[in-house]
Amino acid sequence: MDEDMVMRARVELLSANRRVVRGTEGLRIYRLLTRVAPEVYGSKLAYVLVEASMSAQVRELPEQRLALLEEAVAVASALDAAHPYRTKVLAKAFAARRELEEQQTHGR
């Protein structure tokens, strides 16, 4: 892991002055930092992944949406069972995935 990249991601996170950094910037930051500290950043990554799956950029791309949701489920599932946000983000990821699968089944 490149320590400079990790440091830059942490600085960007602090500079954002937001509770959760969203969008492609958030995905990049949280994906990197989750590799270093999964219990600290994993729930935020899962949350941002679910949000990204609903974005206009992938709205008409079901395979990409599903890939983002699968990643969200995997990240949230990997959190310790005692993690305070694990249940919430895992439920959100499962619900979004179920909704997407229902949309695909009904041809929407």
pLDDT at 1: 72
pLDDT at 4: 92
Check: CB of residue 50 under 8 Å from CB of residue 69. Answer: yes
Walk along the chain (108 residues) in steps of 10 and give the mean pLDDT of each run: 90 87 93 96 97 93 95 97 96 96 82
CA 69 to chain centre: 8
pLDDT at 95: 97
> Quick check: pTM over 0.85?
yes
77: burial class by Cβ within 10 Å (0-12, 13-18, 19+)?
middle
Question: For residues 2 and 11, what is the distance between their CA atoms, to the nearest angstrom?
Answer: 15
pLDDT at 108: 57
Matching residue, tokens 């439920």: 91
Question: For residues 55 and 61, what is the distance between their CA atoms, to the nearest angstrom?
Answer: 10
Q: 51 is written with which tokens?
A: 């949000």
Question: For residues 78 and 39, what is the distance between their CA atoms, to the nearest angstrom?
Answer: 9
